[in-house]
């Protein structure tokens, strides 16, 4: 990578939205201004970049957004960016606006696109991990995960009230097509009887046994958290039907928490994380770094290779899985 003097930086949000993205945009914009650089916002991710939907931002443009969910830059998925022609258009738009470097706030898909783009055009890029799934390798937490897990826990708490009033068994599906972090955190915090995640296939019999055990131990209601991508049943409804058929003593209900997990104002943790990562992303670019991701490891902000973020699946913390059985005794 040729080292260039960076004067104009652009920032975008891409892929799935996550609460706290606005706080990250704000931090990138404000730190660029602080370091006397010009900063541009690109709307609608790679799609907007290809279409040239780019605007010069000032520090004031990001006033009053730290507390807002969603993203003021909008986000999108772009099939065209997957093609060399699409990426060439994207590059031409950056050059036309004299932009020297790009900050992408998004998930692993966005990072994959960013890496290919950076290699093709020798263009400086830094990624900021933002996804409620928390599945980006190399960082303990991604922006949005803490807010989404708190939203899920609030919903679980409410369902617990009705579950215990009626002596019911609830299967609650939380988001996470490929990763069980949201299920694990919200399940432990919500006092779930069992937590089913895609990373671990324990089989339906083990679930039946654990529910039988809890009935024997005197529990009259239970909550089972199921990650969207879990494969114990065909889907959460199928799973609930199977359990109802085999454990006649239970009256079973299903709740899918759904998209409310993506929205809402970000928690303090997500705002602070987004602020720290946004500042570090700009500092890393100005320091001549590229094809890196800024992350959070053991309460420190780190800068690590983009390769690490996309090459390996992030492992779930085994200790969290191990304590579920103890906590449900």
Cβ neighbors of 240 (< 8 A, separation 6 or more) are 171, 233, 252, 253, 254
Least distance in angstroms from the C-beta of 83 to ligand ADP: 8
Residue in the shown chain whose Cβ atom is closest to ligand ADP: 109
Of 11-19, 22-30, 139-147, 317-325: span binding ligand ADP (CB under 6 A):
11-19
Q: Binding to ligand ADP by residue 112, rule CB under 6 A? A: yes
Number of residues that bind ligand ADP (CB under 6 A): 17
DSSP 130: B
Stretch that binds ligand ADP, among 32-40, 107-115, 172-180, 225-233 (CB under 6 A): 107-115
Contact status: 229 vs ligand ADP (CB under 6 A): no
Q: Which of 9, 16, 180, 252 binds ligand ADP (CB under 6 A)?
A: 16
Which of these segments, 75-83, 204-212, 227-235, 256-264, binds ligand ADP (CB under 6 A)? 75-83
Nearer CB in complex with ligand ADP: 164/178: 178
CB of 240 to ligand ADP, least distance (A): 29
Judge whether 78 and 104 are in contact, CB under 8 Å: no
- Contact status: 129 vs ligand ADP (CB under 6 A): no
**Chain position carrying tokens 């443009």:** 61
At residue 194, the 3 state secondary structure works out as strand
Q: By CB under 6 A, is residue 106 in contact with ligand ADP?
A: yes
Choose between 15 and 180: whose C-beta lies nearer to ligand ADP.
Answer: 15
Identify any residues that bridge with 294 across adjacent strands, giving them in sequence order. 303
Q: Which of 131, 149, 47, 145 is nearest to 309 (CA)?
A: 131
Residue pair 217/250 in contact (Cβ under 8 Å)? The answer is no
As to burial, measured by CB atoms within 10 angstroms (0-12 exposed, 13-18 middle, 19+ buried), residue 328 is middle
Q: How far is the CB of 221 from ligand ADP (least distance, A)?
A: 36
- Residues recorded for the chain: 329
Q: Which residue of 38, 100, 108, 146 would you call a contact of ligand ADP, by CB under 6 A?
A: 108
Binder of ligand ADP out of 22, 110, 139, 267 (CB under 6 A): 110
Nearest to 133 by CA among 278, 279, 17: 17
The token duo for 204 is 């339906």
CB of 141 to ligand ADP, least distance (A): 16
**Binds ligand ADP by CB under 6 A, chosen from 107, 127, 187, 295:** 107
Contacts of 204-209 with C-beta under 8 Å, sequence gap 24+, read 204/232, 204/233, 204/239, 204/242, 207/232, 207/239, 207/243, 208/243, 208/246, 208/247
Compare residues 282 and 310 and give the one whose CB is closer to ligand ADP: 310
Taking a C-beta distance cutoff of 8 angstroms, is the pair 113, 80 a contact? no
Task: Provide the minimum distance between the beta carbon of 5 and ligand ADP in the complex, in angstroms, as a whole number.
Answer: 28
Q: Which residues are catalytic?
A: 133
100-74-316 Cα angle (round to 5): 90
**Closer CB to ligand ADP, 180 or 190, in the complex:** 180
Is residue 131 a contact residue for ligand ADP (CB under 6 A)? yes
- Residues numbered 82 to 101 that lie near ligand ADP (CB under 6 A) are 82
- 259: nearest Cα among 142, 132, 110: 132
Stretch touching ligand ADP by CB under 6 A, among 26-34, 104-112, 279-287, 308-316: 104-112
User: Judged by CB under 6 A, does residue 77 bind ligand ADP?
Assistant: yes
**Structural element, H or E, at residue 323:** helix 318-327
Binding positions for ligand ADP, rule: CB under 6 A: 14-16, 46, 77-78, 81-82, 106-110, 112-113, 116, 131
């Amino acid at each position: 990578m040729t080292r260039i003097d960076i004067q104009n930086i652009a920032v975008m949000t891409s892929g799935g939205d996550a609460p706290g993205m606005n706080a990250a945009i704000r931090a990138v914009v404000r730190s660029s201004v602080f370091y006397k650089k010009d900063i541009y916002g690109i709307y609608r991710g790679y799609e907007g970049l290809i279409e040239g939907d780019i605007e010069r931002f000032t520090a004031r443009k990001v006033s009053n957004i730290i507390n807002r969910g969603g993203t003021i830059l909008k986000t999108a998925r772009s099939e065209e960016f997957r093609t060399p022609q699409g990426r060439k258009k994207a590059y031409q738009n950056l050059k036309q606006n004299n932009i020297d470097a790009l900050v992408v706030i998004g998930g692993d898909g966005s990072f994959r696109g960013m890496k290919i783009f950076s290699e093709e055009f020798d263009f400086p890029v830094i990624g900021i991990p933002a996804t409620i799934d928390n599945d980006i390798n190399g960082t303990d937490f991604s922006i949005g995960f803490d807010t989404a897990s708190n939203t899920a826990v609030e919903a679980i708490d409410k369902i617990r009230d009705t579950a215990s009033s009626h002596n019911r068994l609830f299967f609650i599906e939380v988001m996470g097509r490929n990763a069980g972090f949201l299920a694990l955190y919200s399940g432990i915090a919500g006092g779930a009887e069992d937590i089913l995640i895609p990373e671990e296939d324990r089989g339906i019999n083990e679930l039946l046994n654990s529910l039988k055990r809890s009935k024997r131990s005197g529990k009259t209601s239970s909550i089972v958290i199921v990650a969207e991508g879990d494969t114990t049943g065909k889907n959460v409804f199928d799973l609930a039907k199977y359990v109802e058929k085999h454990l006649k003593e239970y009256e079973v209900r299903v709740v899918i928490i759904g998209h409310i997990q993506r929205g809402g104002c970000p928690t303090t943790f997500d705002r602070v994380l987004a602020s720290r990562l946004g500042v570090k992303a700009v500092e890393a670019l100005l320091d001549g770094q590229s094809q890196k991701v800024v992350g959070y490891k053991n309460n420190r902000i780190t800068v690590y290779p983009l390769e690490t973020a996309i090459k390996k699946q992030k492992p779930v913390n085994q200790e969290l899985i191990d304590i579920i059985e103890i906590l449900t005794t």
